[in-house]
Amino acid sequence: MVRALASSVFATLCVLAITSAPVAAQGNTCNASKLTATGKKCAAKARCVAKAAAKGGTVDGECLAKAETHFTSAFAKADSKGTCSTNGDAAAIEGKVDAHVQDVRDDLWTDEPAENDCAASKLRATGRKCSCKLRCNATAARRGVSVPALCLQRCESAFASAFSRAEGRGSCTTGGDAGGIEAKVDAFVADVAVDVQGSGTTTTTTPGSTTTTSTTTTTTTTISPSCGNGIAEGAEECDDGNLNPGDGCSPTCQLESLNPALCAGVPTGSGATLDAVLFQSGFVMPVHVAAPRLDPFRMFVVEQEGRIKMVKGGVTTTFLDITAKVACCGERGLLSVAFHPDYETNGNFYVYYTRNAPDPQPDGDIIIARYHATSPDLGDPSSETVLLTVPHTSFSNHNGGNLNFGPDGFLYAGTGDGGGGGDPAENAQNDAVMLGKLLRIDPTTGATTNWAKGLRNPFRFSFDRATGDIYIGDVGQGSWEEIDYSAGNPSGVNYGWDDMEGRHCFEPSSGCLTAGRTLPVLEYCNSAHSEAACSTFQPEKGQAVTGGFVYRGCAMPDLHGRYFYADFYTAFIRSFMGVSGGNAQNLQNHTVDLDPAGALAINNVSSFGEDARGELYIADYDGEIYKIVPGS
């Protein structure tokens, strides 16, 4: 039974539950770092509990310990800067996080240790809200401005939507508890913000009203527009952080006309070291980033619930909204977008989503559809033409999700094996079904070919725009994550699943079929794996590989040919350059380089993206998009 709220303070804190923290008089990156670290710990611990709830059983101590280590390290690093409002407060904040997570755990997982998917979903949503709201406060602390109301509202929207979806599945042991949990998160965020920043003004904002409780008087500062500071403000159409002409954004921060030579005027630097700079934030569960082939002015971000957002000149607008059609979330949702090579003239783009079907049709079937843009800035939701429907199994996972146009002009899609663990229906090796495959689709007629097979969940794959070679990040079962590669993307390749997982026999566990299988050029251990062989891969442990791109951009010519990939859960970012003898070569770890400055952090890499110029972007599932640039 859900426990009653202990105090009416929660009602005061949350009418629509949009809580902003103390406003600093001046920017303080130390305070911002602590707020971000606290949010990350809250989300990480909630995820640990959610994983246990999803499977049933006890919470993994290693998972909890990892969250503790990262938190302690972040606080120590912040304190060493010497600019914090408070010092030596890690243990106290840590205790509050632990108490908060335990509190919502008791409320939501009422039948612990039984398996409870609904509780798992609610716990994840609660952790994400905690992290999201503290990031909003961290942004304000870093800049010395008021907490952005829009940022807080987006946190609220994502939380409410996630709770509603969880209860809609009908398997919850608790119901109608969103308001109570919401209030507890807001009270926790407000409490931590005061602790970290010493004193200030805590504001609860609802449409049309403001309630303020002051402990000291503070001054709110705003940033005046300044072309070249990397933030599009006022009348600026863009601001790329420099005053260079010819790179798409003029020295007066206006969009420049498209130059046929996309790299003309783009300053170059070395990729020996790299930085990740914030491109845009405020997205709700972003899972894909893409751009039309010849348009350097627009980037498109796919939100899992069913929206495609467009970023142009630093401004985000909704390009397409098909949320009513989309079954979300977990591994389902609107998962990718691809623009026709002739998009500039025909306006056609393509989406991959799991459908939200009315009874008696099955929920979760894979839909690949063509849409038309009424203008470069707006897709027409009524223009859908379904090219392909791939029947899914009764399981809700292993949906694949990527669309890419190949160098041959065909549309390619990567489908998962249908889920359930171990491919129980043997779909990946079955030529009669389209699950566990790389599909080649005629973008006009929808005629489809099983182009390659033996894939478990190829959530992200890409083509090298210079060579046409294909790279596939295939998520493993429980032992090995893998990167598959084929020069020139020939048809008929068998990537091995479920005879093999990575380079190892899976079914059977020894003596499996290996003839005719194309083994991965790189594999690394899943965090749950304990074989002795895993020890050689310890620096690269993870849980779900995120395939990326070969860099072919304008800004860092010395990186050309280097393939970037990541892990969704551990958020490492690595690369290799070239394949020889079936093995990836010249491996590099960019995780430290690409740790964003200040209070920002990359927590869950859901996708990489590539713009028209070939520059690479990182989608953080928590809501931000980062651009990879030369190191400073």
pLDDT tens digits for 590-616?
999 999 988 889 999 999 999 999 999
Whether 477 contacts 421, CB under 8 Å: yes
- The span from the CA of 624 to the CA of 632, in Å, is 21
pLDDT tens digits for 142-151?
767 777 665 6
Q: Is residue 239, in this structure, part of any structural domain at all?
A: no
Q: Is residue 569, in this structure, part of any structural domain at all?
A: yes
For residues 181 and 284, membership in a common domain is answered with no
- The span from the CA of 122 to the CA of 46, in Å, is 10
Q: Is residue 230, in this structure, part of any structural domain at all?
A: no
Q: What average pLDDT does the structure give for the chain?
A: 83
Q: Is residue 236, in this structure, part of any structural domain at all?
A: no
Q: Is residue 446, in this structure, part of any structural domain at all?
A: yes
For residues 281 and 186, membership in a common domain is answered with no
For residues 61 and 202, membership in a common domain is answered with yes
Q: Is residue 257, in this structure, part of any structural domain at all?
A: no
- The span from the CA of 18 to the CA of 148, in Å, is 10
- The span from the CA of 526 to the CA of 476, in Å, is 8
Alpha carbon 365 to chain centroid, angstroms: 22
pLDDT tens digits for 11-65?
322 322 334 443 333 567 788 888 888 988 898 888 888 888 877 888 888 788 8
**Helix, strand, coil in percent for the chain, rounding step 5:** 25, 25, 50
Question: What is the DSSP annotation of 172-186?
Answer: -SS-S-HHHHHHHHH
Q: Is residue 169, in this structure, part of any structural domain at all?
A: yes
Q: What CATH number is associated with residue 539?
A: 2.120.10.30
Of 165, 112, 141, whose CA–CA distance to 23 is shortest? 141
Residue 306 in 3-state DSSP?
Answer: coil
Of 315, 171, 313, 183, whose CA–CA distance to 256 is shortest? 313
Domain endpoint, select from 160, 186, 207: 207
The pLDDT score that the predictor gives to residue 361 is 62
For residues 188 and 315, membership in a common domain is answered with no
- Report the range out of 24-28, 216-220, 620-624 with the highest average pLDDT: 620-624
Take residue 462 and report the two structure tokens written for it.
């890409």
User: For the chain, how far is it from start to end, CA to CA, in angstroms?
Assistant: 54
The pLDDT score that the predictor gives to residue 434 is 98
For residues 349 and 490, membership in a common domain is answered with yes
- The span from the CA of 187 to the CA of 171, in Å, is 28
The pLDDT score that the predictor gives to residue 218 is 30
Task: Give the pLDDT band (50/70/90) at residue 207.
Answer: very low
Average pLDDT over residues 255-284: 82
- Least confident window among 4-13, 279-288, 402-411, 559-568: 4-13
The pLDDT score that the predictor gives to residue 229 is 63
For residues 40 and 180, membership in a common domain is answered with yes
Q: Which residue has the tokens 């304190």?
A: 79
For residues 290 and 224, the model is more confident at 290
Q: Is residue 139, in this structure, part of any structural domain at all?
A: yes
Q: Is 344 exposed, middle or buried (0-12, 13-18, 19+ CB in 10 A)?
A: middle
**What is the torsion angle, in degrees rounded to the nearest 10, for the CA atoms of residue 495, residue 621, residue 143 and residue 12?**
-170
Domain endpoint, select from 207, 242, 260: 207
Q: Is the pTM of the predicted complex or chain greater than 0.75?
A: no
- The span from the CA of 234 to the CA of 205, in Å, is 25
For residues 525 and 397, membership in a common domain is answered with yes
Average pLDDT over residues 264-285: 93
The number of domains in the chain is: 2
Domain endpoint, select from 174, 190, 207: 207
* Domain assignment of residue 94, given as a range: 9-207
For residues 440 and 351, membership in a common domain is answered with yes
- The span from the CA of 314 to the CA of 233, in Å, is 8
Take residue 189 and report the two structure tokens written for it.
């965020």
- Residue 219: pLDDT over 60: no
Take residue 38 and report the two structure tokens written for it.
């606290």
For residues 200 and 278, membership in a common domain is answered with no
Which DSSP state fits 114? S
Q: Which residues contact 414 (CB under 8 A, 6 or more apart)?
A: 400, 401, 402, 437, 438, 439, 455, 458, 459, 460, 461, 472
The pLDDT score that the predictor gives to residue 5 is 28
For residues 527 and 399, membership in a common domain is answered with yes
pLDDT tens digits for 240-254?
555 655 545 567 766
Whether 335 contacts 352, CB under 8 Å: yes
For residues 188 and 309, membership in a common domain is answered with no
Residue 346 in 3-state DSSP?
Answer: helix
- Least confident window among 90-99, 129-138, 207-216, 435-444: 207-216
The pLDDT score that the predictor gives to residue 72 is 84
pLDDT tens digits for 66-86?
778 878 877 887 787 678 888
The pLDDT score that the predictor gives to residue 2 is 29
State how beta strands 493-494 and 448-453 pair.
Answer: parallel
Polymer length of the chain = 632
Residue 201 in 3-state DSSP?
Answer: strand
Task: Give the pLDDT band (50/70/90) at residue 154.
Answer: low
Residue 368 in 3-state DSSP?
Answer: strand
Alpha carbon 127 to chain centroid, angstroms: 15
Q: What is the C-alpha R_g of the chain?
A: 24
For residues 394 and 543, membership in a common domain is answered with yes
